[in-house]
Amino acid sequence: MDSAELRAQLEILHRESYGWALVCCARVASEAENVLQTVYLKVLEGKARFDGRAAFKTWLFSVIRRTASDHRRREMLRRIRLIGRVDNNAERVSFDEAVYRSEIQSLFRQSLAVLPRRQQEVLQLVFYHDLSLSEAARVMGVSTGSARTHYERGKKHLRHLIEESGVFDESTIGRRKNPSTLP
């Protein structure tokens, strides 16, 4: 793949790459930006080379994950405080809707944060980055069977945590009319 093709692929995948970098950097935006910049330099300078054995996106996410891990190891002793993630929501919605969305997102993030790291990673890759389980397994450096196990256990655990919260409880009348609703 030549330099122009690499640049085009990186531009196409920039948003998702940044999202994955945020996940790999514990939602610390400045760290994710640094990791992503390092990854782009590695790719464009030829230090990380795409060999075509996997999809470009899968390969790129693997490079991001490894770079974030290296960065985290180097910075662990120097980092004293974490910088919070800034949530830029460009949509304009009613106040009530914004509060509801914020509460649901907060509940989901809190529930996801409780899961073991591998379960968090596989759920993020599959749900937020539209990777298949086999592609997620390659990114994580585990077998497909292991990724599938983490995925299933993560979904089950996440569902249990959300059900425990009671945020989706409905009235008993509504539940009788539509028993298939959550929880």
pLDDT, tens digit (0-9, with 9 covering 90-100), for 1-19 = 788 888 999 999 999 999 9
Best CA proximity match to 67, nearest among 25, 29, 27: 25
In one-letter notation, the amino acid at residue 138 is: R
On the CB side of 180, CA atoms within 13 Å amount to 0
Region for 166 from its dihedrals, namely left if φ exceeds 0, alpha if ψ lies in -120 to 50, beta otherwise: left
* Cα(45)–Cα(87) distance, integer angstroms: 32
* Residue whose C-alpha is closest to residue 24's, from 15, 10, 36: 36
Q: What class does CATH assign to 3-75? A: mainly alpha
CATH 3.40.250.10 fits 95-168, yes or no: no
62-83 residue pLDDT tens: 999 999 988 877 765 454 333 3
Residue with tokens 């790291």, as numbered in its chain: 117
108 has a pLDDT exceeding 50 = yes
To the question of pTM greater than 0.95 for the whole model, the response is no
Confidence of residue 20 (pLDDT cuts 50, 70, 90): very high
Range list for CATH 1.10.1740 in the chain: 3-75
The CATH 1.10.10.10 domain(s) of the chain lie at 95-168
